[in-house]
């Protein structure tokens, strides 16, 4: 295949400054790329996700992206989606902030953006999450839970495009101090076709956030993901279903990535219709060209 040159960006998402949040690779104008080429480049970046902009397939969409981890394509992921909307606006790919619609493999997702460029906040409605009733084989879940100080909601598999195991721990400190059994997590996630496992715990008042979250994806060669929008959206859906949402009026802040020096913030809101919105800022770190 002939090598071509494309504009390439790297942005930190759910970040109030460069070096925080979760890094995202962005290839603009990838209309001529096939899946194999996208997957190979995503593996090369070795970021948790890389996105590729393509022309929309419907007039209802403002832009279209495909999302790849180093190992697989995802129908939806949170920090790539928030980052994509920010990039689309900052690069002039779209100009109307009033009616943004993202097209991805999970469908058409509404986006809200304020006009305070470049520090604008992006809010995106995640695909509706649901619990997956699946019994893992060979006691794979028990092997993971045996090492965790669990509390609150029982461990469960949730899906909002990707599938995640969600496990509530007894406190924020338990989340922060956790040394996970990555081999056991990899076995569990591979056996259940899940992207990874996330733990969360409630924070004491006065911390500026209501939940602490960590997400582990060892089967994707990502021992720990810095900040994970899809996980946070699944957690919000699970807490909403249980009637135990933190915060006020369906809104709260999740802290994720501190253990990796990333200290990201995800704004969660469950609206009147039960839909989960994820929000945050993005920071441009790299703006150049790549040849592949």
121, 143: one domain: no
With contact defined as beta carbons under 8 Å apart, do 255 and 223 qualify? no
13, 144: one domain: no
Q: Find the catalytic residue in 36, 49, 168, 170.
A: 49
140, 120: one domain: no
117, 243: one domain: no
147, 172: one domain: yes
With contact defined as beta carbons under 8 Å apart, do 126 and 76 qualify? yes
113, 238: one domain: no
39, 92: one domain: yes
Tally the C-alpha atoms within 13 A of residue 231's C-alpha that lie toward its C-beta.
30
168 is catalytic: no
145, 264: one domain: yes
**Sign of the Cα pseudo-torsion (72, 186, 160, 115, in order):** negative
pLDDT in tens, the chain (292 residues): 688 999 999 999 999 999 999 999 999 999 999 999 999 999 999 999 999 999 999 999 999 999 999 999 999 999 999 999 999 999 999 987 778 999 999 999 999 998 777 789 999 999 999 999 988 777 999 999 999 999 999 999 999 999 999 999 999 999 999 999 999 999 999 999 999 999 999 999 999 999 999 999 999 889 999 999 999 999 999 999 999 999 989 999 999 999 999 999 999 999 999 999 999 999 999 999 999 9
How does DSSP classify residue 248?
B
114, 142: one domain: no
Domain tally, the chain: 2
Would you list the DSSP string of 124-181? EEPPPPEEE----GGGHHHHHHTTS-B-SSPPEEEESSSEEEEEEBS-HHHHHH----
146, 215: one domain: yes
Q: What is the pTM of this model?
A: 0.93
Tell me how far apart the alpha carbons of residues 151 and 144 are, in angstroms, rounded to a whole number: 14
177, 190: one domain: yes
Domain that residue 40 falls in: 5-125+281-291
Report the CATH number that the domain containing residue 256 is assigned in CATH.
3.10.310.10
């Amino acid at each position: 295949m002939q090598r071509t040159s494309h504009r390439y960006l790297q942005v930190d998402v759910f970040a109030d400054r460069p070096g925080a949040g979760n890094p995202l690779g962005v290839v603009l104008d990838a209309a001529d790329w096939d899946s194999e080429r996208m997957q190979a480049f995503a593996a090369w970046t070795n970021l948790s996700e890389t996105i590729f902009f393509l022309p929309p397939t419907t007039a209802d969409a403002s832009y279209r992206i495909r999302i790849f981890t180093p190992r697989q394509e995802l129908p939806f992921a949170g920090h790539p989606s928030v980052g994509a909307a920010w990039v689309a606006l900052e690069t002039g790919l779209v100009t109307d902030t009033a009616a943004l619609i993202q097209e991805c493999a999970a469908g058409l997702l509404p986006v809200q953006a304020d006009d305070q460029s470049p520090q604008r906040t992006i809010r995106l409605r995640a695909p509706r999450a649901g619990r997956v009733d699946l019994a893992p084989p060979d006691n794979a879940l028990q092997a993971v839970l045996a090492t965790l100080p669990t509390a609150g909601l029982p461990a469960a598999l949730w899906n909002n495009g990707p599938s995640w195991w969600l496990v509530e721990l007894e406190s924020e400190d338990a989340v922060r101090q956790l040394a996970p059994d990555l081999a056991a997590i990899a076995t569990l996630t591979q056996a259940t076709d899940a992207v990874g496992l996330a733990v969360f715990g409630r924070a004491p008042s006065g911390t500026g956030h209501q939940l602490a979250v960590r997400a582990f994806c060892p089967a994707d060669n990502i021992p720990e993901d810095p900040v994970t929008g899809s996980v946070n959206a699944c957690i919000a859906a699970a807490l909403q279903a249980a009637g135990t949402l933190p915060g006020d009026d369906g809104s709260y802040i999740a802290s994720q990535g501190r253990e990796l020096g990333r200290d990201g913030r995800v704004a969660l809101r469950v609206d009147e219709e039960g839909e989960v919105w994820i929000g945050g800022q993005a920071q441009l770190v790299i703006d150049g060209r790549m040849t592949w």
